[in-house]
Amino acid sequence: MKHQRGASKFEFAVTVAILGILAAVLLVRLNAIQIEVERTEVDLTVRRIRAGIQIAIGEHIMRGEEARIAEVARASPMDFLGERPRRFIEGPTAEAAGQWAYDPVLRELSYMPRSPEAFADATELRWRYVAHVDPLGRTVGASLVALN
């Protein structure tokens, strides 16, 4: 009787098939994680901007400088981040995937997703920076409003 050394061709094929299936599952899972990371990154950036706006307005109110709230409303919303996103441009719209842009004329912030499927296949996300004015015409606040 002849003893076989090592794995047979069948055992090798089964091993390769199992590794192929595991690699495919890993790639699908990594894609899902990348999508979730981008969604979370955008959400956190917008939340940080909104929190920065609220803090700036709150500081003016606490100092009794309500007249300076209009300065907050005129500034770029990106000024309220600790640091601007890596891929940020001052201009009408984001030009490349993963890029942020702020249009000071329209007062709109935009983001072009790397993975549109993370945002219901949206090719661009937009927010408008809006000043809130009381009946006397004084600026009393500002907010970032989602457009899509």
How many domains would you assign to the chain? 1
**Does residue 45 fall inside a structural domain?**
yes
Pick the more confident residue, 25 or 82. Answer: 25
**Does residue 4 fall inside a structural domain?**
no
Give the DSSP H/E element, type plus range, for residue 142: strand 139-146
Give the pLDDT band of residue 91 (cuts 50, 70, 90): confident
- The distance of Cα 66 from the centroid of its chain, to the nearest Å, equals 31
From residue 89, how far is each of 38, 94, 127 by CA, in Å? 18, 7, 15
Give the pLDDT band of residue 3 (cuts 50, 70, 90): low
**Does residue 75 fall inside a structural domain?**
yes
* pLDDT at 23 > cutoff 90: yes
Task: Look up the pTM and report it.
Answer: 0.82
**Does residue 85 fall inside a structural domain?**
yes
**Does residue 3 fall inside a structural domain?**
no
What pLDDT, on a 0 to 100 scale, did the predictor assign at position 2?
Answer: 65
Query: Which of 39-48, 89-98, 121-130 shows the lowest mean pLDDT across its residues?
Result: 89-98
What pLDDT, on a 0 to 100 scale, did the predictor assign at position 84?
Answer: 86
Cβ neighbours for 36, distance < 8 A, ≥ 6 positions apart: 118
- Closest by CA position to 74, among listed 99, 104, 54: 104
Tokens 């495919």 belong to 24
